[in-house]
Amino acid sequence: MTALAPAAPALVCRGLRKRYGSVVAVDLLDLEVRVGECFGLLGPNGAGKTTTVEILEGLLQPDEGEVEVLGLRWGTDDGALRQRLGIQLQETQLNEKLAVEEIVRLFRSFYRKGPSVGRVLEMVELESKRRSWVGKLSGGQKQRLAVACALVNDPDLLFLDEPTTGLDPQSRRQLWSLLDGFRARGGTILLTTHYMDEAQALCDRVAIVDRGRVIALGTPRELVASLGAEHVVEFAVDGHAEVSGDALAGLPGVTAARVDGGTIRLRVTEPHVVVPALLAELARQGLKLARFAVHQATLEDVFVAHTGRNLRDE
Ligand SMILES: Nc1ncnc2c1ncn2[C@@H]1O[C@H](COP(=O)(O)OP(=O)(O)O)[C@@H](O)[C@H]1O
Ligand SMILES: [Mg+2]
222-233: pLDDT as tens digits = 999 998 888 999
Question: How high is the pLDDT of residue 246?
Answer: 79
Shared domain for 213 and 259, answered yes or no, is no
Q: Are strands 64-69 and 205-210 parallel, antiparallel or unpaired?
A: unpaired
Ligand 1 atom nearest to 51, measured from its CA: 17
Average pLDDT, the chain: 92
- The residue whose CA has the least distance to atom 6 of ligand 1 is 20
Position 263 scores a pLDDT of 87
For residue 285, name the pLDDT band (cuts at 50, 70, 90): confident
More confident residue, 63 or 287: 63
Read off the pLDDT of residues 233-262 as tens digits, 9 standing for 90 and up.
Answer: 999 998 877 777 778 888 888 988 888 778
- Ligand closest in space to the Cα of 213: 1
Nearest atom in ligand 1 to the alpha carbon of residue 161 is: 21
Closest protein CA for atom 24 of ligand 1: 46
Same structural domain, 278 and 192: no
- Rounded to the nearest whole angstrom, what is the distance from the C-alpha of residue 50 to the centroid of ligand 2? 4
CB contact at 8 A, 231 and 269: yes
**Ligand 1 pocket mutation, candidates 18, 20, 303, criterion most atoms within 8 A of CB:** 20
Assess contact for 219 and 40: CB atoms under 8 A: no
The whole-number pLDDT of residue 314 equals 46
The whole-number pLDDT of residue 247 equals 80
Q: Note the pLDDT of residue 103.
A: 96
pLDDT tens across 173-210, in order? 999 999 999 999 999 999 999 998 999 999 999 999 99
Pocket of ligand 1, beta carbon within 6 A:
20, 23, 25, 43, 45-51
Ligand 2 center from residue 49 Cα (angstroms): 5
Q: Is 24 helix (H, G, I), strand (E, B) or coil?
A: strand
Write out the residue range of the structural domain in which residue 135 sits: 11-223
Q: Residue 286 maps to which CATH number?
A: 3.30.70.100
* DSSP notation for 72-89: B-TTTSHHHHHHHEEEE-
Q: Is the dihedral of CA 116, 122, 123, 128 positive or negative?
A: positive
Whether 39 is in a domain gets the answer: yes
Examine residue 196 and state whether it is found in any structural domain, yes or no: yes
CATH number at residue 73: 3.40.50.300
Q: What average pLDDT score do residues 102-124 get?
A: 95
Residue 4 is predicted with a pLDDT of: 52
Q: Which long-range contacts (CB under 8 A, 24 or more apart) does 55-63 make?
A: 55/13, 55/16, 55/18, 55/26, 56/11, 56/13, 56/159, 56/190, 57/85, 57/87, 57/159, 58/82, 60/18, 62/16, 62/17, 62/18, 62/26, 63/17, 63/18, 63/19
The half-sphere exposure of 137 on its side-chain side, counting CA atoms within 13 A, is: 29
**Residue 141 · residue 126 · CB < 8 Å:** yes
Structural domain count, the chain? 2
Question: Contact, 228 vs 255, CB < 8 A?
Answer: yes
Could you tell me if 245 and 126 lie in one domain? no
Ligand 1, residues 22, 41, 51: which to mutate, most atoms within 8 A of Cβ?
A: 51
Q: What are the tens digits of pLDDT across the range 153-180?
A: 999 999 999 999 888 999 999 999 999 9
Give me Rg for the CA atoms of the chain: 23
Name the percent of the chain lying above pLDDT 90: 76
Amino acid at 130: R
Q: Which residues of 10-27 are buried (b: 16+ CB within 10 A; e: fewer)?
A: bbbbeebbbeeeeebbbb
Ligand 1 centroid, distance to 65 Cα (angstroms) = 18
From 313, 239, 251, select the one nearest 279 (Cα to Cα).
251
- Residue 243: its pLDDT value, please? 77
Give SS3 for 227: coil
Distance 47 CA to ligand 1 centre (A): 8
Q: Is residue 307 part of a domain?
A: no
| Residue 295 pLDDT exceeds 80 | yes
Does residue 133 form part of some domain? yes
Cα–Cα distance for residue pair 31/59, rounded to 1 Å: 18
Q: What is this structure's pTM?
A: 0.88
Query: Is 296 in contact with 256 (CB distance < 8 Å)?
Result: no
Identify the band that residue 7 occupies on the pLDDT scale cut at 50, 70 and 90. Answer: low
